[in-house]
Amino acid sequence: MVSQHGIKLAVYLVSSFYGDHNSKVCECLLRRGTLTLAQIIRFTELSREIVRHCLLALIHQNCIQAFSIQQEGAFGEAPKVVTHYMALFDNIIHHMRFPKFIAIVKDELGGECEKVFEALLQHGRLSFNQIVDREKQTVSKEENFDVDHLKESFNKLVNGRFVERCPAPEPFLAPPSDEETPAKKRGAKSTKVGDVSESIEQRALAAAAPMESLRFLAETHNWSDFSDKSSEEKFTSVKTGEKRKQDFLETDGGLLDQDEKKEVLWRVNFEELIRRLRHQACIANAKSRLNDECGIILGAILELTRSSESKVNIGSTASVSINDIYDEVIKKKGGLGMNLERIRASLVELGCEMPMLVEEYSIDLKSIIDMAQNEEVESIVLKRYGREAYRMFRFLSKSGCLHETDKIADTTFVEKKDAIKILYKLWKDDYLQMEKVTVNGARQTHFLLWKVNRQSLCQHVLDEMYHAALNLRLRIAHELDQEKEILQMPKDKVGEVEELRKRYMRLKKVSIIYESSLMNLDDALMLFHDF
């Protein structure tokens, strides 16, 4: 269930990227859940044409998934197939991370791959022919356009799993009694057969996803058609930077252009990018909590086991032999001087047990993420409530069970009257759980017991982070709006006037501070939601 501030942040992002009508449709789906076209029109009070246009645009930008199900007809009528639409909250929030995603691709694959990757981020879904057409428009007449070079860059993105085939635009979900489980299509990525807790949205996503054998398959024999005249004519109407919102087949079920159905459409694979960011977070935590050597060894293991991960938030890595770890470690910066004994010692520090027979090691990533989450919450408590509150919260967090007020005060060396005030404050702000216990004896005695409920606490902290991220984005937008006059002026003119130059430098400094704060906040947000 998405929190209220999470919904507000998602709606603001859609409004910023795609306009108010799209954000209204998106908000309707986020707040009310999966709806049909008629229901969206009724709830948003927008015209049918506008709603259809918004749905098509948001599907193309991977913010909405459509699917059809069979519904019983009215009395005496046959069953009918109805299209439903659901908002993809995670994909919307990923719009905040586009700069991070671009940086990952640029660092690993270079600037040429970065250009293709940016095109897919901007346009949502493109065929290779459309990518070629777009690149042609950006190349000047004096430069020679090399389609083979572009093809090579695209292949690198596919092989690196940064790009994947698009899901089916509108999968049909058969009635449960006749349904074939989607586990046969996606293997480990799908839910178990007969899982009664699987929601209709989960079934739709599993049915829409391409088979794993096709997901990263690039059919190069179809790419020689990039000069097709119809493709060029269709794409020339789309200027660079313009959102592609036209030429769709506007039937209730059809979501793609007739010609596009004949081509393979590609999109950015957010799953792989979030996996890379999760690995980076684990390595950074190991370096700060332990030492640089542990971070290097963890990075080597993650590099070796990345391809075997079936989902982003996997609990533990696959087992790797000590020789494979050594071979990978000496390739890393700072790892050349390590020997097997130092590697084994670092593996113990990372929580690995010494094997009895075959010397293979697996890292518990979930425990690293849990420790990072605890550190994040404890830092919030320290900054917001002070050192004494931090000690009491840390004691309760580590114990994981209920404790009476006197026990907490004595253990953390806090005066009882101060301890009660602090505990009440933490409870009021949803950082602690309180239980009242009454003991009947010679006289009735009341006790207050306190504990940290980790699950509800993480949800509360996540909602606070969504709220903070929304406020930061609003503040950045406000600052830019206040100084829009300066931003529209030529830079040389701004430099000539002292007052304008000072205002411009102030805006630049403030923007850097807010943007860096937002990036750091998003790192913490991913820690609680995506990792």
Cα angle at 272 between 267 and 278, to 5 degrees?
Answer: 145
pLDDT attached to residue 475: 94
Range in 79-88, 256-265, 522-531 the model is least confident about: 256-265
Question: What type of residue is 451?
Answer: K
Cα angle at 394 between 298 and 424, to 5 degrees?
Answer: 145
pTM for the model stands at 0.83
pLDDT digits (tens, 9 = 90+) for 428-475: 999 999 988 887 777 777 888 999 999 999 999 999 999 999 999 999
pLDDT attached to residue 225: 46
Beta-carbon contacts of 516 under 8 Å, excluding residues fewer than 6 positions away, are: none
Q: How many CB atoms lie within 10 A of CB 369?
A: 19
Question: What type of residue is 332?
Answer: K
Is the separation of the CB atoms in 255 and 59 below 8 Å?
Answer: yes
Confidence of residue 141 (pLDDT cuts 50, 70, 90): low
Range in 71-80, 85-94, 227-236, 278-287 the model is least confident about: 227-236
What CA–CA distance (Å, rounded) separates 72 from 75?
Answer: 9
Q: Determine the 3-state secondary structure of 360 from DSSP.
A: strand
Beta-carbon contacts of 223 under 8 Å, excluding residues fewer than 6 positions away, are: 128, 129, 147, 151
Average pLDDT, the chain: 85
Is the separation of the CB atoms in 273 and 104 below 8 Å?
Answer: yes
What is the number of residues in the chain?
531
Question: Which residue reads 């010494």 in tokens?
Answer: 354
pLDDT attached to residue 26: 95
> Percent of the chain, pLDDT > 90?
58
The full 3-state SS of 316-355, as one line of letters, equals ECCCEEHHHHHHHHCCCCCCCCCCHHHHHHHHHHCCCCCC
Is the separation of the CB atoms in 462 and 6 below 8 Å?
Answer: yes
Residue 240's Cβ-side half-sphere holds a number of Cα atoms within 13 Å equal to: 13
pLDDT higher than threshold 60 for residue 200: yes
pLDDT higher than threshold 90 for residue 223: no
pLDDT attached to residue 446: 80
DSSP letters along 140-183, please?
A: -TTSPP-HHHHHHHHHHHHHTTSEEEPPPSS-EE--TTTPPPTH
pLDDT digits (tens, 9 = 90+) for 464-508: 999 999 999 999 999 998 888 888 888 778 777 788 888 888 898
pLDDT attached to residue 457: 93
Joined together, the tokens standing for residue 226 give 């990039």
pLDDT digits (tens, 9 = 90+) for 365-419: 999 999 999 999 999 999 999 999 999 999 999 988 899 998 999 999 989 889 9
